[in-house]
Amino acid sequence: MPNSISNLRKFVAPEIIFGVGARKTVGNFARNFGGQRVLIVTDPGVIKTGWVEDVKRSLEETGLEYRIFSNVSPNPRAEEVMQGAALYHEEGCNLIVAVGGGSPMDCAKGIGIVSANNQHILMFEGVDRIHSPIPPLVFIPTTAGTSADVSQFAIISDQDTRMKVSIVSKAVVPDVTLIDPETTLTMDPFLTACTGIDAMVHAVEAFVSTASGPLTDMHALEAIKLVSENLPKLVQNPSDVALREQLMLASLKAGLAFSNAILGAVHAMSHSLGGFLDLPHGLCNSILVERVIDYNFNASPDRFRVIADTLGIETKNLSTPQLQKALVSHVSELKQRVGLTQTLGEAGVVKADIPELSGNALTDPCILTNPRKSNKRDVEVVYEEAL
């Protein structure tokens, strides 16, 4: 039995419907949750793919009215959340359906928070700051990686400070997620690679997190295996639905792991970077991942050995320093195989930016569960190595 509060672990998850065609059940779920007028939150790119049409049709077939809010940037902004919440209120909506990647899903969470709590979205930064229950959330993810459809995180950009704000609360775990691998067929190879690496980073960070435990470890390891075995093949065969399904499964498992075990320095540093330069989230993670693994390795060598085994690295005869080297180069090669080779410098960062980036990373909640305790200089060195 656990003998202290720090040993307790929790596990929160939405109702999950997984499989091709899941998106078409949205009308039934919206009706079952008492929906009358639905706010669909999406973005212009997702509208072009046609998936929103399927959602509209399903809602119409079940006799539900809807309004659409699609003014969502790739890194959703505080003012967009406030606009969406105003529309939700003006139109008398009572349920939110998000269709898209992490951006519409995080924006939808923000709209739900604001509509129920009547305060500016930036007031909810941090852990467990939401007091009033938010409207039912029904999510349909169209990327395989962000896992905003299962997580208790919402990440919102503050344009004034050029920072990303992390909102962490059980209140933003959707009521149901309709995970339909077919919707990821419209991702281009770059987005497929970025989101796939994001899923792997979720799993790695969750497995070495100081809040990891048996409820999350199994999901994290299965996700690592699924990404490493399937992502390179998928980037070569983007229309293979079976491979799309494996990546969706990886994303789901990684999401269940990190939503409950939280993340680490890759995400703290990548949130800081993404807020500063408005770069794709998965790309930011990809730029940083092997540098952070190298930095963290000695804080959790046994766990990194399990990760290396899971990635298929022959670890038996390797000393700990050899293993560290092998793991870092394996992750770097995996990124190269899926076409992600950009450095921090190529992404537009200069050395003078690093102190500010590092200061902001240290204020992100994800740094709290990183296995190695970090100060500003530590983080600066990792950014410098990724330049």
Task: Name the residue nearer to Fe ion (CB basis): 180 or 198.
Answer: 198
CA-CA distance, 335 to 328, in Å (whole number)?
A: 11
Task: Name the residue nearer to Fe ion (CB basis): 80 or 198.
Answer: 198
Lay out the site mask for Fe ion across 195-214 (x = CB under 5 A, - = otherwise): ---x----------------
Task: Name the residue nearer to Fe ion (CB basis): 235 or 366.
Answer: 366
Task: Name the residue nearer to Fe ion (CB basis): 157 or 324.
Answer: 157
Residue pointed to by tokens 């807020």: 275
Size (the chain), residues: 387
Closest contact distance (angstroms) between CB of 281 and Fe ion is 6
Closest contact distance (angstroms) between CB of 199 and Fe ion is 8
Task: Name the residue nearer to Fe ion (CB basis): 151 or 358.
Answer: 151
Helix axes 354-361, 265-277, angle to 10 degrees: 130
Closest contact distance (angstroms) between CB of 46 and Fe ion is 19
Three-state DSSP class for residue 282: helix
Burial class from Cβ neighbours inside 10 Å (0-12, 13-18, 19+) for residue 13 reads middle
CA-CA distance, 328 to 290, in Å (whole number)?
A: 5
Closest contact distance (angstroms) between CB of 144 and Fe ion is 12
CA-CA distance, 387 to 369, in Å (whole number)?
A: 25
Closest contact distance (angstroms) between CB of 198 and Fe ion is 4
Task: Name the residue nearer to Fe ion (CB basis): 58 or 270.
Answer: 270
Q: Which of 89, 97, 140 is nearest to 116 (CA)?
A: 89
Task: Render 245-298 in DSSP notation, one character per residue.
Answer: HHHHHHHHHHHHHHHHH---HHHHHHHHHHHHH---HHHHHHHHHHHHHHHHGG
Closest contact distance (angstroms) between CB of 106 and Fe ion is 11
Give the total of residues touching Fe ion (CB under 5 A): 1
Closest CB to Fe ion: residue number: 198
Closest contact distance (angstroms) between CB of 325 and Fe ion is 26
What are 265's two structure tokens? 């320095």
Task: Yes or no: say if 135 and 95 are a contact pair by the CB < 8 Å rule.
Answer: yes
Burial letters 37-55, b for 16+ CB under 10 A, else e: bbbbbbbebbbebebbebb
| Backbone phi, psi, residue 93, to 5° | -75, 160
Closest contact distance (angstroms) between CB of 366 and Fe ion is 9
Asked if 106 touches Fe ion (CB under 5 A), the answer is no
Q: Which of residues 179-198 bind Fe ion (CB under 5 A)?
A: 198
Task: Name the residue nearer to Fe ion (CB basis): 324 or 369.
Answer: 369
Task: Name the residue nearer to Fe ion (CB basis): 14 or 145.
Answer: 145
Question: Which residues contact Fe ion by CB under 5 A?
Answer: 198
